[in-house]
């Protein structure tokens, strides 16, 4: 049967394989659905579409035989040449996978958020084109040859660096997650947003390359006796300035020019952004133009008035910046629909601003029973980790949850455990367990359970 292939490897031999009636039957039964959602649907419409291929030109020997699946056009024609796209783009069939803004979330798009479509992504790397955006006065595409970066304040030798100065210095590359401090904010008030893109999509993960801030502070002769903090300042019009402790600044902070192997994208701070592993995104100052070394927190507007935690007693907690251990199931998730019973691979993401993920447990009954999920490697510090676990859906209603534990032993809390301490008026730093309800219809929705 495979002789033609043994002899020449020519594709024309392939239809012969399909003469096996069992296979043909299987092909005609096989359902068709939005491949990205990864669910199987039995559908006459779909089967019809599959048979539709049979109306194409028949190959030699196959003409008129209903049992022969005809080779599709792409198996019989010359395709497009290389460098059709000198910089490649996704398939036309993936056009619906986009960063999306939550309508009405803010007054203007220049001070808004676009969310990463976590429900359609795989592994731990976020494609740069789908990396979430959060701007305070819009984004700019800055000419790197004119950009300057200054270090001043409590240093012996204040300096101004060009991009060239920085990019010839010792560099490091590290994979880290970045999460906005306001990610999952709506859940505090029990607002069930419609999908994981809007509930958890202010989260991305990339490989960042740049020079350690510690190297630059050393180069400028930081005054370690008096210095306690640094202030990071962006070059956009938003006056984005954040205080970072000197201890952290000398630890794993990077003055980065590259993300996922190429120069930063404009909306992510091209040509220079601060990378502050484990800390909320607002401190990863974009279009970075200045680091000032000081002896006390600067109390700038974005740390004294914004990104602060409203507590039950009416006071506000300032300078909380670490993104605590958290996880979420991305498939199945709200807005999706299970189109068939049987086996599913439940998959999701876990991360901690304090180090590596040690374990992720998954429940399909609202937290009564837990099973430990498989963790993909590499398991990196302050980086997303991908988990997978098997599930055979019997068609009955279910509530899916994931619970992450990091290397410090910290366990991701339930939403009501968080509320008991922090109340319901908070906006930032919600790392609660997320619940997805699967209805008998297969519809998946966002619910909150005790």
Site for a copy of itself in 97-136 (CB under 8 A): 97-101, 108-110, 112-114, 120-131, 133-135
390 binds a copy of itself (CB under 8 A): yes
- The torsion defined by the Cα of 420, 424, 425 and 427, in degrees rounded to 10, comes to 100
Structure tokens at 397: 């209603």
Span near a copy of itself by CB under 8 A; candidates 155-163, 177-185, 322-330, 426-434: 155-163
Smallest distance from the beta carbon of 413 to a copy of itself, in angstroms? 27
Task: Report helix, strand or coil for 54.
Answer: helix
221 binds a copy of itself (CB under 8 A): no
* 181-200 positions binding a copy of itself, by CB under 8 A: none
Per CB under 8 A, 245 contacts a copy of itself: no
β-strand 254-259 against 241-245: which pairing, if any?
A: unpaired
Enumerate residues 1-40 that contact a copy of itself by CB under 8 A. Answer: 2, 5-6, 8-11, 14, 17, 20, 22-23, 26-27, 30-36, 38-40
Give the contacts of 2 (CB within 8 A, at least 6 positions apart).
13, 17
Dihedral pair phi/psi, residue 372, rounded to 5°: -85, 130
Does 345 engage in binding with a copy of itself (CB under 8 A)?
yes
- State the number of binding residues for a copy of itself (CB under 8 A): 154
Kindly report whether the peptide bond that precedes residue 332 is cis, defined as omega within 30 degrees of 0: yes
Query: What's the gap between Cα 425 and its chain centre?
Result: 27
Q: Name the packing angle between helices 21-29 and 44-52 (round to 10°).
A: 130
Which lies closer to a copy of itself via its Cβ, residue 235 or residue 279?
A: 235
Q: Is residue 218 part of the contact set for a copy of itself (CB under 8 A)?
A: no
**What is the β-pairing status of strands 398-406 and 357-363?**
antiparallel
Quick one: tokens of 337?
């629909």
For residue 371, state whether it binds a copy of itself (rule: CB under 8 A): no
Q: Which stretch binds a copy of itself (CB under 8 A): 163-171, 179-187, 413-421, 442-450?
A: 163-171
Residue 162 interacting with a copy of itself (CB under 8 A): yes
List the structure tokens of 329.
């199931």
| Region from 221-229, 319-327, 371-379, 408-416 binding a copy of itself, contact rule CB under 8 A | 371-379
Q: What does the block give as tokens for 32?
A: 């068709």
Of positions 62, 212, 271, 353, contacts a copy of itself by CB under 8 A: 271
């Amino acid at each position: 049967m495979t002789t033609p292939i043994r002899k020449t490897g020519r594709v024309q031999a392939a239809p012969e394989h399909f003469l096996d009636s069992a296979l043909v039957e299987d092909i005609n039964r096989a359902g068709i659905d939005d491949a990205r959602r990864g669910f199987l649907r039995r559908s006459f419409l779909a089967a019809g579409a599959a048979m539709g291929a049979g109306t194409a030109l028949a190959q030699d020997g196959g003409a008129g035989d209903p049992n022969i699946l005809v080779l599709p056009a792409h198996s019989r024609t010359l395709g497009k040449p290389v460098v059709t796209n000198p910089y490649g783009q996704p398939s036309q069939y993936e056009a619906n996978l986009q960063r999306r803004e939550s309508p009405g979330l803010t007054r203007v798009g220049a001070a808004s958020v676009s969310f990463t479509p976590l429900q359609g992504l795989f592994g731990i790397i976020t494609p740069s084109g789908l990396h979430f955006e959060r701007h305070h006065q819009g984004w700019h595409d800055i000419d790197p040859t004119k950009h300057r970066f200054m270090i001043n304040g409590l240093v012996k030798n204040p300096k101004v660096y060009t991009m060239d100065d920085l990019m010839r210095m010792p560099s490091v590359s590290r994979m880290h997650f970045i999460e906005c401090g306001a990610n999952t904010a709506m859940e505090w008030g029990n607002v069930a947003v419609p999908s994981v893109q809007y509930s958890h999509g202010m989260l991305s993960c990339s490989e960042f390359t740049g020079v350690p801030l510690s190297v630059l502070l050393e180069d400028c002769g930081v005054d370690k006796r008096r210095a306690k903090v640094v202030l990071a300042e962006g070059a956009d019009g938003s006056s984005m300035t954040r205080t970072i402790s000197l201890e952290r600044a000398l630890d794993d902070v990077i003055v980065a020019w590259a993300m996922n192997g190429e120069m930063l994208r404009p909306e992510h701070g091209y040509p220079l952004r601060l990378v502050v592993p484990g800390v909320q995104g607002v401190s990863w100052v974009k279009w970075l133009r200045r680091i000032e070394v000081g002896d006390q927190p600067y109390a700038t507007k974005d740390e004294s008035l914004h990104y602060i935690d409203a507590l039950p007693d009416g006071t506000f907690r300032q300078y909380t910046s670490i993104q605590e251990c958290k996880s979420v199931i991305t498939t199945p998730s709200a807005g999706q629909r299970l189109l068939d019973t049987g086996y599913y691979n439940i998959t999701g993401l876990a991360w901690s601003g304090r180090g590596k993920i040690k374990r992720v447990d998954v429940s399909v009954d609202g937290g009564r029973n837990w099973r430990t999920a498989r963790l993909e490697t590499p398991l990196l510090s302050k980086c997303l980790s991908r988990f997978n676990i098997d599930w055979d859906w019997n068609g009955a209603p279910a509530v899916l949850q994931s619970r992450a534990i990091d290397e410090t032993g910290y366990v991701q809390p339930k939403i009501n455990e968080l509320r008991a301490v922090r109340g319901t008026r908070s906006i930032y730093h919600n790392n609660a367990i997320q619940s997805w309800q699967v209805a008998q219809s297969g519809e998946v929705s966002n619910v909150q359970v005790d």
